[in-house]
Chain A
């Protein structure tokens, strides 16, 4: 009788524990995150990497945070400062005076779509070249139209003069 009762209690406990079990409770898996590097990539139009360029990183307050040089692929990585969410990166291609670019990296926004601002978003080079031709044809057309209008008016004036 007593043994039966003990068995019943154990059985109930077993059923209860089975019901309340959850997937992770046995070997709890922890996931923590740490952003160890921010990688920047510098390249010229047409995806030519910007090598050996000086990189200067400033924090949100405009204070100098880190300095370095891009590698052969035009890349440069730096560890983020704890609590600092925004950086300004200035890349100065010293080999090509006159090529300097600046980018603001905002980590809190970046998280949603990191690398969204990568090369993929740039209009391909040939499209730009074709766009340039388009502008030139447009300009030439406008100039010709203007000249034509002027000529027509001149001819019109002459006609009137001839009639008089």
Chain B
């Protein structure tokens, strides 16, 4: 449901979406290249993109419709700034293979899910630094849950914002979008929290937003 399909949004919104997405992908690639080698990130990047790609198939029935997982928070926490291009690739595949969203709206949809990933990365990194705690696992788990929930809420708000540009006709749809995603916010918070807690214990170097300050 956070995927907007073709033929709904107006041309200026679509064009702006593409412009912002292309700019952000370029910045993300340039930034991570400057920070270090992208080569080591590629396997992690493709595994996470694959996870993001299939996560949209996990449907949860809510009311008359069904909504699916998004996992943008987890993408941000693990991949850091590279989550943005990864989400773009994941969305391209979803659009062509699953019919989620559309081709002309790829720019807008990447913003809707990529920006929350970047915000999740920021929150997770800052929170990890600010909150002093003895147990890294529980701290990471709680922070992960919080970040995962916030990311979905933000993704839904951004999508709602995009639909808001269409005017009153979509007011009901926006309301439905928000209400039906409340369970997803909770479910994803639990999933992201447990995945992050597990990874911190088993393989902390996988988490991009932890890796930077440790070394």
CB distance from A47 to the nearest CB of B (A): 12
Partner of B93, one of A98, A136, A147: A136
B42 touches A144 (CB 8 A): yes
Q: Which of A46, A98, A137, A139 contacts B1 (CB 8 A)?
A: A98
**What's the least CB distance linking B45 to chain A, in Å?**
7
Known contacts A45-B98, A45-B99, A48-B59, A97 near B4 by CB under 8 Å: yes
Most buried by B among A98, A129, A133: A98
Residue interface mask A122-159, B partner, CB < 8 A = 1: 00010011011101110110011001100100000000
CB neighbours (8 Å) of A129 from chain B are 53-54, 57, 97
Interface size on A, residues (CB 8 A): 30
A136 CB contacts on chain B under 8 angstroms = 46, 49-50, 53, 89, 93
Contacts of A51 in B (CB 8 A): 64-65
B-side contacts of A45, CB under 8 Å: 98-100
- CB pair A99–B5 under 8 Å, yes or no, is yes
Given A129-B57, A132-B50, A140-B46: A98 touches B97 (CB 8 Å cut-off)? no
The chain A residue sitting closest to B170, CB to CB, is A97
A144 surroundings in chain B (CB, below 8 A): 39, 42
Asked if B8 is at the interface of the complex by the 8 Å CB criterion, the answer is yes
Contact of A131 with B97 at beta-carbon distance under 8 Å, contacts A51-B64, A94-B172 already known = yes
Interface pair B42/A95, CB less than 8 Å apart: no
Whether A139 and B99, one on each chain, are in contact in the complex, defined by CB atoms closer than 8 angstroms, is no
Is the Cβ of B1 less than 8 Å from the Cβ of A133? Answer: no
Chain B stretch 7-60: residues in CB contact (< 8 A) with chain A: 7-8, 38-39, 42-43, 45-46, 49-50, 53-54, 57, 59
- Residues of A near B54 (CB, < 8 A) are 129, 132
Is B101 positioned at the interface, with any CB of A under 8 Å from its CB?
A: yes
* Contact partners of A143 in chain B: CB under 8 A: 42
Give the number of chain B interface residues (Cβ < 8 Å).
41
**The residue from A100, A135, A137, A147 contacting B5, defined by CB atoms under 8 A apart:** A100
State whether the Cβ of B177 lies closer than 8 Å to any Cβ in chain A. yes
Q: Is B133 an interface residue (CB 8 A)?
A: no
Per a CB cutoff under 8 Å, which of A100, A128, A131 touches B8? A100
Given A48-B59, A125-B57: A98 and B101 interface contact (C-beta under 8 Å): yes
Q: Can you name the residue of chain B whose Cβ is closest to the Cβ of A148?
A: B39
A93 to B173 alpha-carbon distance, docked (Å): 10
Q: Is the CB of A48 within 8 A of B66?
A: yes
Determine if B125 is an interface residue (Cβ-Cβ < 8 Å).
no
Report how far A131 CA is from B7 CA in the complex, Å: 26
Top 9 A-B residue pairs of the complex, sorted by shortest distance between their CB atoms: A140-B46, A98-B4, A97-B173, A128-B97, A95-B65, A98-B5, A147-B39, A132-B93, A136-B46
**Besides the known contacts A46-B59, A94-B176, 13 further A-B residue pairs in the complex with CB atoms under 8 A apart:** A48-B66, A95-B63, A97-B4, A98-B101, A98-B159, A100-B7, A129-B53, A132-B97, A133-B50, A140-B45, A143-B42, A144-B39, A147-B42
What are 29 inter-chain pairs, A to B, with CB distance below 8 A?
Answer: A45-B99, A46-B57, A51-B65, A94-B172, A94-B173, A95-B176, A95-B180, A97-B4, A97-B8, A97-B159, A97-B174, A97-B176, A98-B4, A98-B5, A98-B8, A99-B5, A100-B5, A100-B6, A100-B7, A128-B98, A129-B57, A132-B50, A132-B54, A132-B97, A136-B49, A136-B93, A139-B89, A143-B42, A147-B42
Q: Which residues of B contact A (CB under 8 A)?
A: 1, 3-8, 38-39, 42-43, 45-46, 49-50, 53-54, 57, 59, 63-66, 89, 93-94, 97-101, 105, 159, 163, 170, 172-174, 176-177, 180
